């Protein structure tokens, strides 16, 4: 199976309006949207669209409606003129833990039948339950073990400490034994923010889930509390 778990750290460094650093230990699921039903059947600690210690709900992602997420992502790719030719979609995200989740960023790796990433979707959410998806084609689909570099203008309000007239630069190491995602936000005067996730791969099975439960019993609650705590310190 392609689905797995990455354990690692999230690093943030703000350069404006004040230099501010943070880092947290986290885990993320990398879920193949084609495999969710199989994961639901085979895992005791994980469920799909129903309550469990760990769970994945379609309505937590995309437009946050009761729909099939896999079909929705393929639909918006098609609207953007991107054909994955029956390939798979891999979602890097936090799952629900004890029924609760907040994802500041979800990343969809969209593969074609030749196992090349043809597009990446960056789904950004704020604490007002709003979200926006940046859909960007990948122009380097024939290279292996490479970094994907992409960029786009900011189109969606996230933080009161960041203006809208900025640009995101993304630098991604595709999923493998390890994973990395670096986001650099800039304005005309220079760098505003650097955010990075570094993780190492673990099998997605009940043994790993039990380990995560012991090590990170309230991680998803920590995410939203950490966002507000760091915002309060900045304020």
The Cα 196–Cα 227 span in angstroms is 15
User: From CA 112, how far away is CA 120, in angstroms rounded?
Assistant: 12
With a cut of 60, say whether residue 59 has pLDDT above it: yes
> When comparing pLDDT for 11 and 227, which is higher?
11
- pLDDT classification of 143: cutoffs 50, 70, 90: low
User: Quick check: 232 pLDDT over 80?
Assistant: no
Q: What is the pLDDT of residue 88?
A: 96
Segment 102-118 mean pLDDT? 93
pLDDT level of residue 233 (50, 70, 90 thresholds) = low
pLDDT score of 69 more than 80:
yes
């Amino acid at each position: 199976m392609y689905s797995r778990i990455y354990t690692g750290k999230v690093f943030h460094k703000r350069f404006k309006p004040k230099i501010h650093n943070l880092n947290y230990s986290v885990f993320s699921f990398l879920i193949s949207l084609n495999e969710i039903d199989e994961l639901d059947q085979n895992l005791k600690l994980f469920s799909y669209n129903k309550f469990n210690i760990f769970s994945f709900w379609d309505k937590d992602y995309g437009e946050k409606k009761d729909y099939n997420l896999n079909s929705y992502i393929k639909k918006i790719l098609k609207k953007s003129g991107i054909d994955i030719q029956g390939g798979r979609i891999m979602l890097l995200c936090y799952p629900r833990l004890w029924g609760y989740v907040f994802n500041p960023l979800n990343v969809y790796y969209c593969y074609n039948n030749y196992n090349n990433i043809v597009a990446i979707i960056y789904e950004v959410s704020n604490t007002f339950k709003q979200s926006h998806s940046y859909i960007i084609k990948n122009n380097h689909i024939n290279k292996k073990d490479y970094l994907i570099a992409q960029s786009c203008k900011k189109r969606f309000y996230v933080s009161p400490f960041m203006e809208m007239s900025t640009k995101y630069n993304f630098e991604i190491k595709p999923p493998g034994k390890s994973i990395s995602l670096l986001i650099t936000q800039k304005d005309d005067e220079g760098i505003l923010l650097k955010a990075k996730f570094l993780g190492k791969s673990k099998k997605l099975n009940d043994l790993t889930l039990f380990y995560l439960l012991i090590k990170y019993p309230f991680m998803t609650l920590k995410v939203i509390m950490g966002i507000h705590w760091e915002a309060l310190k900045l304020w």
